[in-house]
Structure 1
């Protein structure tokens, strides 16, 4: 039987497909981690604008503790930025060491430094809305209902791109993925087809990351090889299946930024728009989680062959519950005090997860799917 695992540089992986059948011995060997005390894991990083600083805090806690080896990272929007910054920081240091444990230790510290450099740069922007200061947000919100970014931002100014290219050497990252750096999978939505596409390996560029974070009411669609892309959150926020197909471990830690549940019915315009935003950017993730849960139940009932199907273990840091009080509109706020506040809350959440659930890795799911 032919392998169900896509080729590493497959041109397109449709966002609505949720494949789980794999033949890991032939295509993706089972991962062993750094040593018996440092098992492998994959990360799934949700997008959410400046709320990605919360994810920075979680990643900082993981890298400081050094007890997990990150094999793969799937990220969308801000999650994609965190993914490439962390992977590059890890890889550039790990590549200088021949001893695997020393490489891991150096990589973790370098990843923390790269993430700090990136988010401190974000903190100097004040706003993520194409140069619009936070004081002008109300006017911008009103204008965006009637004018497109092709009118309000004709030069397609996006300071995040300059910052990203300053922090990440994409040519190095393309080469080192799966070697000294974690494999990275970035999702963007193809405007023409409406499907999510995965950018990894040689396709992982600054354009791909900016496409993954391209909100259509703020920025022009990003063109990549005659195709145009919008934010990956519409089709996979983040996508889980690349981590199932193209890594050799069975553990995924999801860092979620959008709350799933809402205790009250939204009543004013801002609350309604915030809730619509949360539902929209959680929809694809919930679909994949339901599919994974279905496969797990079939495996538990003995109706599927465990030699052909991965039994995935899901873990969860729920940033949505922590960030709900800020509201979706604050995702465009990126002044240094706010970014640092989100980082600290993420750091605490990451430390709590390590204390309470680190022992679940390789053993059981700490998150019901």
Structure 2
């Protein structure tokens, strides 16, 4: 799609298991816009997988085209191909439970939920089988990604994982973005053994930054950050079953760090608008959001560990529709004003 004006922005991609297919749809719509240039991408868990697949497409293009504009044009096409290959691969895996059980068990979702309260993945998955790693290394050439021909063409990546020892978030960037880093960012401790990198063990980045916004503020020039949020902000009902309570607890946990960062950004923006802070020292961030939580509610939290092709394609279409709607309503505001309403994040 031809664009009248060109805009540089950053992307912040939240994790959420197979619901990340909705983010794939959003990205596909954004990549359709020739005028959007992605400077940086922060991603966690499924968001990290989306981020690295997208960046891989641009890295491939940078290796094939000498001119920056040509590389960016080709990069959009190759990024869309990489994302499609990634999620169609996920769609062939079915339920995460099938990684551990040779045959389906009656009530297997509930059974796995109960089992994980008493057994760790060191017992239920002693060989640490994770087919996502094989898929990822087939789709992404991490060596090309680490050393692109035109660095300005390839978005900077910021991948968040949680240090098990300290509880702090770790941002992997540049040459640190490897298959291990992506697996660390997506390592749910109930399902997989901690990922060890340079002597430290890591779990899912959702515990500490889902996604982390601060790298986009401090390490890029663009003021615009587009957040793709797929974890529900609100619940329409008060959960009363054990499963519903656990699901809502997880949703709140995996949104907590993001909400804290959004409140901090709101505070700084207000002070800048009141001329109480030096704009030379503090960036006036323009936040935008595509909220997929409401669209995903009918699927339920349990579907995050389910990834049949039908669901993946449905989520892709819903995400693409969301992305197109956002562009129609908000593209003109890029570089001018923020479109996210901070008061939507208050309790």
| TM-score range normalised by the length of the shorter chain | over 0.9
Match of 1:167 among 118, 121, 139: 139
- 1:203 aligned onto 2:176: yes
Q: How far does the alpha carbon of each residue in 1:155-198 deviate from its partner, in whole angstroms, 9 at most, with x for none?
A: 00000000000000111111128433111000000000000000
Match of 2:274 among 281, 297, 301: 301
Mean Cα deviation higher: 176-185 or 255-264: 176-185
Mean Cα deviation higher: 163-172 or 96-105: 96-105
Mean Cα deviation higher: 236-245 or 173-182: 173-182
Give SS of 1:60's match: helix
2: distance between equivalents of 1:130 and 1:305?
55
Residue pair 1:45, 1:255 contacting (<8 A) in 2 also: yes
Residue pair 1:71, 1:178 contacting (<8 A) in 2 also: no
Q: Structure 2 length normalisation: TM-score?
A: 0.93
Match of 2:248 among 263, 275, 288: 275
Please name the residue that 1:325 is paired with: 298
Give SS of 2:147's match: helix
- 1:243 aligned onto 2:211: no
Please name the residue that 2:113 is paired with: 141
Please name the residue that 2:82 is paired with: 114
- 1:85 aligned onto 2:53: yes
2: distance between equivalents of 1:40 and 1:233?
26
Q: How far has the Cα of 1:266 moved from its partner? A: 1.6
Q: How far does the alpha carbon of each residue in 1:187-234 deviate from its partner, in whole angstroms, 9 at most, with x for none?
A: 000000000000001111100100000000100000011100000000
Please name the residue that 1:215 is paired with: 188
Match of 1:316 among 289, 295, 307: 289
2: distance between equivalents of 1:332 and 1:120?
15
Match of 1:157 among 129, 136, 140: 129
Where in structure 2 are the equivalents of 1:336-351 lying within 5 Å?
336-351=309-324
Give SS of 2:66's match: coil
Match of 1:42 among 1, 5, 10: 10
1: distance between equivalents of 2:159 and 2:97?
22
2: distance between equivalents of 1:129 and 1:304?
51
1: distance between equivalents of 2:210 and 2:110?
27
Q: How far has the Cα of 1:130 moved from its partner? A: 6.5
Where in structure 2 are the equivalents of 1:176-187 lying within 5 Å?
176=148, 178-187=151-160
Q: How far does the alpha carbon of each residue in 1:9-55 deviate from its partner, in whole angstroms, 9 at most, with x for none?
A: xxxxxxxxxxxxxxxxxxxxxxxxxx982210000000000000000
2: distance between equivalents of 1:96 and 1:172?
11
Q: How far has the Cα of 1:325 moved from its partner? A: 2.1
Change (3 A) 1:229 1:129: farther
Q: How far does the alpha carbon of each residue in 1:241-289 deviate from its partner, in whole angstroms, 9 at most, with x for none?
A: 0001111110000000111122322222222122111100000000000
RMSD: 1.5
- 1:262 aligned onto 2:262: no
1: distance between equivalents of 2:55 and 2:233?
28
Q: How far has the Cα of 1:363 moved from its partner? A: 0.6
Give SS of 2:64's match: coil
2: distance between equivalents of 1:36 and 1:309?
30
Where in structure 2 are the equivalents of 1:118-137 lying within 5 Å?
118-129=86-97, 131-132=99-100, 136-137=108-109
Match of 2:41 among 73, 91, 105: 73
2: distance between equivalents of 1:127 and 1:82?
19
Q: Structure 1 length normalisation: TM-score?
A: 0.88
What number of residue pairs does the alignment pair up?
335
Give SS of 1:40's match: strand
Residue pair 1:75, 1:237 contacting (<8 A) in 2 also: yes
Q: How far has the Cα of 1:141 moved from its partner? A: 1.8
Change (3 A) 1:334 1:37: same
Instruction: Please list every run of 5 or more consecutive structure 1 residues that lacks an aligned counterpart in the other structure.
Output: 1-34
- 1:365 aligned onto 2:338: yes
Give SS of 1:95's match: helix
